[in-house]
Structure 1
């Protein structure tokens, strides 16, 4: 009889919903789960790009499916096992359970297997590498370190198979090879996919200042999409950037630091600032989002007066009294624009106050 390892099935389903069911011999259920999860992932990304709150709903649905799929993989694999195998399996430490715990938190599986020193070392390394990733986020060094962290994470999980008691009936070499191959493939695909999505489609971003109050607050976490400004007619001097878009960009002269502001004028527009108000093409610009009067406040006047040149835009922070924007650094080249803010998903201070009124919105 071909007995199945329940925690191996769980680990496979943790790679992607349905994999554990395929291993357990439940092919139809496995293919259905794979199809549903793939559809939910695609829908979530598409809805986020559109700035729709539906992306949260499909993402939540995918998470629920993932959790249920883990329980189902465990029960499906046990259903056909012999009683003697189940008794033997429960008698000692299960390396596949150790791997599952390590994937929840690196080092936890080692503690379970009685390897406390190694567990501490793995946990400290994991924390250190993640801290370094935060510091190097967005750089080539950060990408290299991210790949190294993924490989170290994989190695920490797989080594548990070799520190347990050698038992070819419990841990056949073929199973180990398949699992390591699967983990490696999924790690590479996940890392590469995340890098591609972050580079070309969407990216999470945190606002460090109050220059966009009260639309965006200090500490807001939001999603920025990049497709709108990349897939446009190459002859469009404004790259598809629209009036009122909240954008992420690098100001001229500061190629490293990114800013978040609102686009006020695009190529060909005529801009002027008079009596604390912005005038666009001769008409007063209605700005219900603006906080305070729009003045130069000692900044060199006339930096953005007149017709906006081709390939340039004018940006202003909504908090006009506390914003470094086009009034200070002038026109922004359209090629400096990274993407458009579409969705607010977190603000720690407000969440702690149980205030969810702004989540999923960007005015």
Structure 2
């Protein structure tokens, strides 16, 4: 009798343990499914590799993106399931680069479907009317004297730069006779149309096709955008960035281990939680 009771007690004690283990496994599976659903349909993480959106979004920012704000994502309609609205002028969007769909770009919507856009120097015209815009200079770029200090390791073509002589930096070159260069006409001193490199809306009107958007970077002089590769199809739009959840000074030449090691030393903690607008 004692042996039988002991066996029954042992069996009864194992049932709660198996039940708890099963509940734990089910909880893990449910959490993974919800996380996968959220990443697939609701939010997405995007890293910003360039400074084309300075001073709104900085290179090295990591953004959390709302994927259903504009109604559907990846061709899946969300009408009646989630709150959404049409894409508006001024919206910052994350989208697949039209010339390479495996790359994600972040730009601001300037032109809407069916509109005619023209860029003349620093001014943008929509259907013949100048688009009112506010330009901002980052405080960190201003010296105490009020002068603007712009330093880049690799200056981008198209910007205006002052050249200074540094003592001890002389170089010797050999000169050779060459054919005279043709005169270059640079409207507003900013750009030149090169042969076989089409531009969209620069110096001449361009009508945005239906179902497409004209997107430009806030850092206009250093942005590769719709002016150079054309409008963004609606199906390529992923969503709208919500806020910055991580940010640190990037170093493209650093290895993954070096980047992780310098995360805390180069982290821009003031950017954490910054809303994107």
1:199 counterpart = 2:113 = no
Tell me the equivalent position of 1:150.
Answer: none
* Equivalences for residues 151-190 of structure 1 within 5 A: 172-190=13-31
1:217 counterpart = 2:114 = no
Please list every run of 5 or more consecutive structure 1 residues that lacks an aligned counterpart in the other structure. 1-167
Deviation at 1:344, TM superposition (A): 2.0
Any idea what the Cα deviations from partners look like across 1:6-29, whole Å, max 9, x if unmatched? xxxxxxxxxxxxxxxxxxxxxxxx
Provide TM-score, normalisation by structure 1. Answer: 0.46
Hey, what's the Cα distance between the residues in 1 that align with 2:268 and 2:233? 40
Any idea what the Cα deviations from partners look like across 1:179-218, whole Å, max 9, x if unmatched? 3212221121111111111111112222111111111001
Hey, what's the Cα distance between the residues in 2 that align with 1:275 and 1:289? 14
8 Å Cα contact 1:207-1:221 kept in structure 2:
yes
Tell me the equivalent position of 1:325.
Answer: 225
Tell me the equivalent position of 1:266.
Answer: 112
Any idea what the Cα deviations from partners look like across 1:30-77, whole Å, max 9, x if unmatched? xxxxxxxxxxxxxxxxxxxxxxxxxxxxxxxxxxxxxxxxxxxxxxxx
Provide TM-score, normalisation by structure 2. Answer: 0.60
Aligned length: 191
Out of 119, 122, 125, the residue aligned to residue 279 of structure 1 is 125
* Equivalences for residues 1-363 of structure 1 within 5 A: 172-230=13-71, 240-289=86-135, 298=193, 300=197, 302-304=199-201, 305-349=205-249, 356=270, 359-363=273-277
Tell me the equivalent position of 2:255.
Answer: none
Higher strand share: 2
Hey, what's the Cα distance between the residues in 2 that align with 1:333 and 1:228? 17
8 Å Cα contact 2:247-2:268 kept in structure 1:
no
Tell me the equivalent position of 1:64.
Answer: none
8 Å Cα contact 2:114-2:207 kept in structure 1:
yes
Please list every run of 5 or more consecutive structure 2 residues that lacks an aligned counterpart in the other structure. 1-8, 80-84, 138-158, 161-187, 250-262
Cα 1:286–1:359 change in 2 (3 A) is farther
8 Å Cα contact 2:244-2:271 kept in structure 1:
no
8 Å Cα contact 1:206-1:219 kept in structure 2:
yes
Higher helix share: 1
Hey, what's the Cα distance between the residues in 1 that align with 2:18 and 2:247? 43
**RMSD between aligned alpha carbons?**
3.2
